[in-house]
Amino acid sequence: MSALARAAACRRPQTPSAFPLLLPTQHRPLHTSSSSTSPPPRPPTAYSQTTSNLLIGAHTRVLYQGFTGRQATANAAASIAWGTNVVGGVSPGRSGTHETLGLPVLGSVREAAAALRPDATAIFVAADQTAAAIEEAVQAEIGLVVAVAEHVPMRDMLRVHDVLRTQSRTRLVGANSPGIVAPRGRCRVGFQPLGVFSPGKVGIAAKSGTLSYEVAASTTRAGLGQSLCVGVGGDVLAGTDMCEALGVLLRDDATEAVALVGELGGVGELEAAELIREYRRSGGRKPIVALLAGLGVESERVIGHAGAFWEKRTELARTKQRALEDIGVSLVTHPSEMGEVIKRKLQNDSKHMSDQDQQSRGEFLWTGFDADKGAVTQGQIDPAMVENRLEHSLQRNDISYQWDSSTSCHGITIDVDRSDRRLVAMVEKPGVRTRPVGVRHSSSIHDDDNAVALLTQELGDLRPSSSQKGGSLAPMPAQDTTQRLVRAMTELMHDPFLNTFRATLHIDQHALNNTGELLVRGYSLKPVPVVPAAPNSRCQIRDPVEAEAATHGITHFSLPTEPHQRRCIGVLSNGAGLAMNMIDALHAELGRRRVAAGGRGAEEDVAVANFLDTGGKATSETISRCLGWILRDERVRVVFVNIFGGIIRGDVIAEGLIMALKEMRQGGAVCGQGTGRAAVPLVVRIRGTREKEGQALLAESGLDGVYVFDDFHRAADMAVELAKDARIDDSKL
């Protein structure tokens, strides 16, 4: 019997209790979806004293790491032209003057810090070099560090946070963050598209980059502008989280209103809700409007970027929605609505949202989509190989393994606490039905010893009683044994072959001998959501279209539908948050229509077919590929392309769409898709950088069946109408 099968036979408790791998000072719930208790406030730490470093402006002196690279050079040039005070940069092994920008180049961050006195640094290096670059900036005591790279290994970020929590000089934003921008001071540290920002009064805290750009554009159109925009990023271990960014905006005198952009994954939005509750109790009156992405695609898989997934012990996006609504935060369906909603709130309009808007955010949002059916199985690496590596890890740490399913087992799991940005140990006890709890900590050189002592005490419950042994109680487990257990399980988290699983070791009351040594009775392996499109991903993807997309670094997968739903909308977007929100908004529109039709209209047969996020790879060639992947799905009757031009220009997207359609309609094949699908109509919504040029290119292309919009809701209406009216029998399958 394989270890996976053996583990399945092990009797597992319903709910775990948890304790940390660091010194405990306060117990805090690791939220469960059934929990109604608000998280307690965070205790102050050395690192929490650095949040004021986020208040950048005209005074901020900005450094670049990776300065001579192509991306950093282009980014710095644009920031300088906008008004950012860039003072120079670092390129290891080089010194002198940047040949394009004419600014100083130094060989190390320490040299640059001494010579240039920077207040902030933008890290533009590869993912595998990012952690070392952050650590170098922390050692140089630079006040603000922004890391933009995606797919930084979690083991590297755990190491970074071990460093950050012990100091009070440096604040990190990222990794996987678009950065931070202060339009009032013309200061950008990151890569946000500058054209959508304008000096003003709205502060933005966002997990999603593209959605934050949409919100910025919306508030600019409304004449409000922005004071500060913090892109906290989409990773599990964010240097600055939603709650911390919100706290800065609520305290900032230049910020008169706040826009929050959250999504599924983690509990940051719940902590933000509790912070808002306390802010209101203390008399705070700033209007706060929120958007939550991922309501319609919740599943135990990564939705585009590393942190966007739902875990069973964390709140669903719907729970976050209710928590924010309960404290009076207005929620919008789409970011383009943000500007006008905030404007009305600032004008003390008593009716902030129409009745129809309220419906779309409440009961109708979920009509037509069963979230439980959204848990799409994600292929993983070979389980047999994982089993072997796990058992070898136990052997290396002198822990014995002897399978025995005859008794009730405790389970021990090492996992990541997103809020505390560290590893925690989860102990599952048979018959115990309490919520998991994490433990806040204060750093000290004795943290590891205290953690091991706490774990030793917890495992002491496993000692055989005197009646079992016929004598006195067996001794407590030795601390060195517990330390080996922690070390073995932490190795599993850091092993690049094993970190796509969470391993739970099972021990029972017969697993501790008279000397306190530990005997593992079994284990189970639970797949962890990973990003299949990430570089060096070892994930085995079974779906051929999804696998092909992943080879190009693009996240694409099908969504489940009912058998009768054959008039589907294929969707394509350039950003995980934008794609999640697009699906949410389409579900809301379909829900409204179904209710209005009394369940008897053609809308019953319409659904959303897929999730597709091109990320920053939305070139003409990749757009052509993406269109072909979508059209391989026989359910698709219309394709809805929703692009916000930030880094990627709107005219480039338009060129890719025109090229793909012309190839198909002239008899060519796009990604294996021949002329049989050429008649599928295309609805395109383009906003952002060079939006007018992109819209004009499509309008003047002479292609039939292409509908171009700048307003999202009009585009969504058209997509639903086209899907509803599609003739199934006329489509070549």
- Cα 325 from chain centre: 22
Question: How far is Cα 520 from Cα 166, in angstroms, rounded to an integer?
Answer: 34
Look-up of token digits 């933008």: 122
Nearest alpha carbon to residue 360 among 579, 580, 585, 583: 585
Nearest alpha carbon to residue 30 among 439, 452, 322: 439
Look-up of token digits 């924010």: 324
- Please give the backbone phi and psi of residue 517, each rounded to the nearest 5 degrees, phi first: -75, 150
Contacts of 716 (CB under 8 A, 6+ apart): 585, 586, 589, 640
Nearest alpha carbon to residue 324 among 367, 352, 291: 291
Query: What would you report as the CA-atom Rg of the chain, rounded to the nearest whole angstrom?
Result: 27
Whether 21 contacts 486, CB under 8 Å: yes
Helix (H) or strand (E) holding 288: strand 288-293
Is residue 305 annotated as part of the catalytic site, yes or no?
yes
**3-class DSSP assignment, residue 634:** coil
CA distances from 296 to 211, 326, 372, 433 (A): 16, 21, 10, 30
Catalytic residue among 305, 410, 441, 506: 305
The string of DSSP letters for 561-628 reads --TT--EEEEEEESSHHHHHHHHHHHHHHHHHHHHHTTT-SGGGGEEE-EEEE-TT---HHHHHHHHH
The string of DSSP letters for 121-183 reads EEE-S-HHHHHHHHHHHHHTT-SEEEE--S---HHHHHHHHHHHTT-SS-EEE-SS--EEEEG
Question: How far is Cα 686 from Cα 641, in angstroms, rounded to an integer?
Answer: 8
Amino acid at 238: A
Question: How far is Cα 635 from Cα 632, in angstroms, rounded to an integer?
Answer: 9
DSSP annotation of 551 reads H
Nearest alpha carbon to residue 261 among 252, 251, 269, 250: 269
Look-up of token digits 């969470």: 502
The string of DSSP letters for 526-550 reads EE----TTSTT------SHHHHHHH
Question: How far is Cα 569 from Cα 296, in angstroms, rounded to an integer?
Answer: 14
The two tokens of residue 31 are 């939220």
- Cα 640 from chain centre: 23
Question: How far is Cα 487 from Cα 425, in angstroms, rounded to an integer?
Answer: 12
CA distances from 93 to 44, 98, 107, 451 (A): 39, 14, 5, 41
Q: Where on the phi/psi map is residue 728: left (φ > 0), alpha (ψ -120 to 50), or beta?
A: alpha
Half-sphere exposure of 731 (CA within 13 A, CB side): 20
Dihedral, CA of residue 71, residue 72, residue 74 and residue 77, to nearest 10: 170
Question: How far is Cα 362 from Cα 667, in angstroms, rounded to an integer?
Answer: 46
Cα distance between the two ends of the chain: 44
Residues carrying an active site annotation: 305
